């Protein structure tokens, strides 16, 4: 996945050079670039940054503020992309948020196991399913995979099943993992819709153990 992210950054860097090649002086502005290719570059870069780091990260905010067709301003965004490429190549893009989340997720799994021990299989199933969905969402963000789509002028959040498909399609994990995640989400959906007889306590217990292993293994892929 790191190599794919680096390829994406390299593409953006090359796109920036294409923007800079369009530098020109106009009647009213000195050293400005072509607006059409600049918009393409900014849209692609901001999309990448928002999915990789989130819109509150300093990289995103710094890039976002450099909204200008002035050549030197555009050129300064290269430094941001080069810093990101360096972070990815060294594995530093795994954010503190991600590390903290992994610890929180582990706590949720432990809580679900406690609920199971107390006989609350349905509450445990819902908790485990929600933990799985958020884990999939973070894997997508950290891998540069979109978690939303634009439909009829509105932003729609992709559901867990769709995230699972996208992660498998990208090669992040295998088709076997995809099938396992599909089965786990089915248990969560049954629990969330009150269909408690569609799964057993043993299946929820198996989900808890499998989910803990899955989260540790897939975080290591980033």
Q: What is the pTM of this model?
A: 0.55
Q: Could you give phi then psi for residue 70, rounded to 5 degrees?
A: -75, 125
Residue 180 contacts by C-beta under 8 Å, 6 or more apart in sequence?
A: 210, 214
Instruction: Enter the CATH code of domain 96-219.
Output: 1.20.120
What single DSSP character describes residue 91? T
Reported as a single tens digit per residue, the pLDDT across 127-143 is 888 888 888 988 888 77
For the chain, the domains span 2-89, 96-219
**13, 82 in Cβ contact below 8 A?**
yes
Reported as a single tens digit per residue, the pLDDT across 141-194 is 877 888 888 877 778 888 999 999 999 998 889 999 999 999 999 998 898 888
Going 50 to 54 to 60 to 61, the CA torsion angle's sign is: positive
Tell me the C-alpha distance between 45 and 73, whole Å: 15
Residue 108 contacts by C-beta under 8 Å, 6 or more apart in sequence?
A: 127, 128, 130, 131
| Residue where the block lists tokens 């301003």 | 73
Q: Where are the beta strands (DSSP E) in 94-209?
A: 148-151, 154-157
């Amino acid at each position: 996945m790191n190599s794919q992210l680096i390829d994406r950054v390299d593409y953006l860097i090359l796109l920036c050079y294409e923007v800079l090649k369009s530098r020109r002086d106009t009647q009213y502005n000195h050293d400005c670039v072509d607006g059409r290719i600049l918009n393409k570059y900014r849209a692609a870069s901001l999309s990448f940054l928002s999915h990789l780091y989130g819109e509150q990260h300093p990289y995103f905010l710094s890039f976002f503020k450099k909204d200008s067709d002035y050549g030197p301003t555009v050129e300064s965004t290269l430094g941001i992309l080069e810093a990101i490429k360096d972070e990815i190549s060294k594995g530093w893009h795994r954010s503190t948020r991600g590390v903290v989340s992994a610890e929180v997720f582990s706590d949720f799994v432990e809580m679900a196991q406690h609920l199971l021990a107390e006989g609350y299989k349905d509450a445990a199933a819902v908790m485990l399913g929600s933990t799985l969905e958020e884990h999939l969402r973070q894997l997508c963000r950290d891998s540069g995979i979109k978690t939303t789509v634009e439909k009829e002028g509105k932003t729609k959040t992709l559901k867990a099943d769709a995230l699972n498909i996208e992660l498998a399609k990208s090669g992040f994990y295998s088709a076997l993992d995809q099938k396992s995640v599909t089965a786990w989400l089915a248990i969560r959906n049954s629990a969330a819709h009150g269909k408690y007889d569609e799964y057993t306590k043993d299946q929820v217990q198996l989900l808890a153990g499998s989910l803990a292993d899955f989260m540790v293994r897939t975080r290591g892929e980033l």
